[in-house]
Amino acid sequence: MPVILIIFLCSSLFAAGTVTVSMTGPVSTLAAARDAVRAQRDRGVSGPFTVRIRGGRYFLQEPLVLSKQDSGVTWEAAPGERVVLSGGRVITGWKKGSGSIWTADAGRLPFRQLFVSGRRAQRARTPNYGFYRIDGPSSQDKPFRLKFRGSDIRKEWAGTDTEVVALLAWADIRMPIASVDEAVRVATLTSDPRPSNKEKDARYYIENAPDSLDAAGEWRLDRAASTVSYWPLAGEDMTREEFIAPRLPKLIHVDGARDLTFRGLEFLHTDWTMDAKGYADTQAAVAVGAAFEAVNALNITIEKCQFRHLGNYAIGFGRGCQHNRIVRNRIYDIGAGGIRIGEPVQRAEEKDRNFDNEISGNDIHHLGYVYPPAVGVFVLQASRNHIAHNHIHDLFYTAISVGWTWGYGENQSKENVIEYNHLHDIGKGMLSDMGGIYTLGMQPGTVIRNNLIHDITSFTYGGWGIYPDEGSSNMLIENNVVYRCASAGFHQHYGRENTVRNNIFAFNRDFQLMRTRAEPHLSFTFERNIVYFDQGRLLGSNWTGSQFRMDRNIYYDARSTPIRFAGKSWDEWKAAGQDIHSVIADPLFVNAENYDFRLRDNSPALKLGFRPIDLSTVGPRPE
């Protein structure tokens, strides 16, 4: 039988207290519980072990580190009890200052987030709403030279804790100000841009500048004075509100352990960190860590947990992580993204590679509050992962991203299955060049099927539903329903021999289908799809050449206007060898205007071999 260690928290839910492990005597931290398990094993007691944690809020002084010797343990909340693992500390002693502002001692540890009675408070922001605009093209100078307009940036902000946050296409930069030349209106920042950090008249805003605390709900940290200031919202009582500032960048670190389970726990209050010179993102907030990090981890299960009020990614499984399960968790109010699997580098030895992980049944939403380019589920150089039945919504960049090789080079992202996910309200007009599902590089065996994707809105270009980007090849894309995307339902930048079949692309705004690059090989086969629209055009970007195959599709423009196929009439398009057996006809959805894409019995799509798509099991399923 498994050995059960029961941790008792003797005080109330919202206070730290004495912790006792029933088999080994009193302990006061989760680390002590880990050590109690080690002590049992040292005495010859075999596992597996269960650490059952009684209800309470545990303020971690350091991350819980689990290594090979800590394998074979279940960490779980006691039945019916709420267990909160917090990387924060409570700030007290608030005093009324001038006007509406209150101040308190910030303590010795600086922090970059503040949570007020369970709400993420806004760090002092200038302007309070909206954005400033860089004057003209963004700089490629090293260091970054930002040309500002009017008096948007002040000379006295240089050398302080002031940070510039700029949104550049699909990425961002965050940097302090080194100097300001007001005569030519140029602010020199502290670090270099990435080559891809380009956008004309790009948006930016300022955080934590002196004298910028000017709106209710904002806060500011003065590191030099070690004080934190806050302007209460209407109705807030400063004698009763609880203020928590994160002190840890991560809560759990697993290295080399296997056969661990984490069940029914809540993970809160990690901070985000930044080098003194700031950072410039390449894509997808790839350099950002996670609150729960694992390397060389096998058979780890995270289930029925909550992750919220975090400054980074929630969960990250990096080098050598295999056969792990992340299931039925809720992840929300996150500074970066939800779940990251893999790493940017490719590993030669199998033991160091990342594969055979399951990410299913999770509700992942409201992400990117610090790092807007972060991704809901992010898979880098990892294979045979199963991403299924997740609900991912309300974030500023891509919902699911798989692959990390640009072009046709070696890519260890292969044979991944992405199915039955509900993805919506993505982009929200913040960034550009994104997809509901985004892929990079050659991925033989990867399957994207039975996903429901809708409402993707980019800032300028690139709000796509399914987006095979540079070199995406040898994938099967079938039985997906994609609608209300800003740029197109499907866009292949360039790639080789993808199959796109039995999908519905409907009500997309600018175009329905896009293809960017003509190449000498077959780009894709597009067959037995329904394309239904009432605005924009059918085909966008580059449809030159003939290295694509389209047939047995049904197209319908609800405006009853003739459809043009990349400048060609229907007859000319068919004469060029495309869509020989396709038709232009109303597919007869049950209720297209209300996005009910079931087909009536007499639908012409059925005669072309289209198979009805069942959306009843999309998203998390009941247990």
R_g of the chain computed on alpha carbons: 26
- What pTM was estimated for this model as a whole? 0.96
Is residue 378 within 8 Å of residue 340, measured between CB atoms? yes
The pLDDT, as a whole number, for residue 109 is: 87
What is the rounded average pLDDT of the residues 280-303? 98
Distance CA 54, CA 22 (A): 12
The pLDDT, as a whole number, for residue 14 is: 29
Q: Which helix (H) or strand (E) covers residue 257, if one does?
A: none
Query: In sequence order, what are the residues at sequence separation of 6 or more whose Cβ sits closer than 8 angstroms to the Cβ of residue 144?
Result: 173, 175, 188, 189, 191, 192, 193, 197, 280
What is the rounded average pLDDT of the residues 336-340? 98
| Cα within 13 Å of Cα(447), Cβ side | 14
Domain covering 247-527+537-551: architecture? 3 Solenoid (2.160)
Distance CA 470, CA 486 (A): 20
Condensed to tens digits (0 to 9), the pLDDT of residues 199-239 reads 999 999 999 999 999 999 999 999 999 999 999 999 999 99
What is the rounded average pLDDT of the residues 138-153? 95
Is residue 161 within 8 Å of residue 176, measured between CB atoms? yes
Distance CA 221, CA 271 (A): 14
pLDDT at 531 over 60: yes
pLDDT at 487 over 50: yes
Condensed to tens digits (0 to 9), the pLDDT of residues 84-133 reads 999 999 999 999 988 999 999 999 889 999 999 999 999 999 999 999 99
First-to-last CA distance in the chain? 26
Condensed to tens digits (0 to 9), the pLDDT of residues 163-194 reads 999 999 999 999 999 999 999 999 999 999 99
Longest distance between any two alpha carbons in the chain, whole Å: 83
Is residue 307 within 8 Å of residue 291, measured between CB atoms? yes
The pLDDT, as a whole number, for residue 21 is: 31
Distance CA 587, CA 569 (A): 20
| Among 336, 275, 272, residue whose Cα is nearest residue 113 | 272
Is residue 91 within 8 Å of residue 104, measured between CB atoms? yes
pLDDT band at 13 (very low <50, low <70, confident <90, very high): very low
Q: How many angstroms separate the Cα of 337 from the Cα of each of 113, 121, 251, 265?
A: 16, 19, 16, 19
pLDDT at 11 over 70: no
Token match 């001692």: residue?
105
Condensed to tens digits (0 to 9), the pLDDT of residues 320-331 reads 999 999 999 999
Condensed to tens digits (0 to 9), the pLDDT of residues 562-616 reads 999 999 999 999 999 999 999 999 999 999 999 999 999 999 999 999 999 999 9
Two tokens, residue 41: 């094993």
pLDDT at 64 over 50: yes
Opening angle at CA 264, ends 258 and 266, nearest 5: 100
pLDDT at 533 over 60: yes
Please, where in the chain does CATH 2.160.20 lie? Answer: 247-527+537-551
| Among 319, 346, 270, residue whose Cα is nearest residue 63 | 270
pLDDT band at 48 (very low <50, low <70, confident <90, very high): confident
The pLDDT, as a whole number, for residue 2 is: 60
Residue bearing the bigger pLDDT, 108 or 441: 441
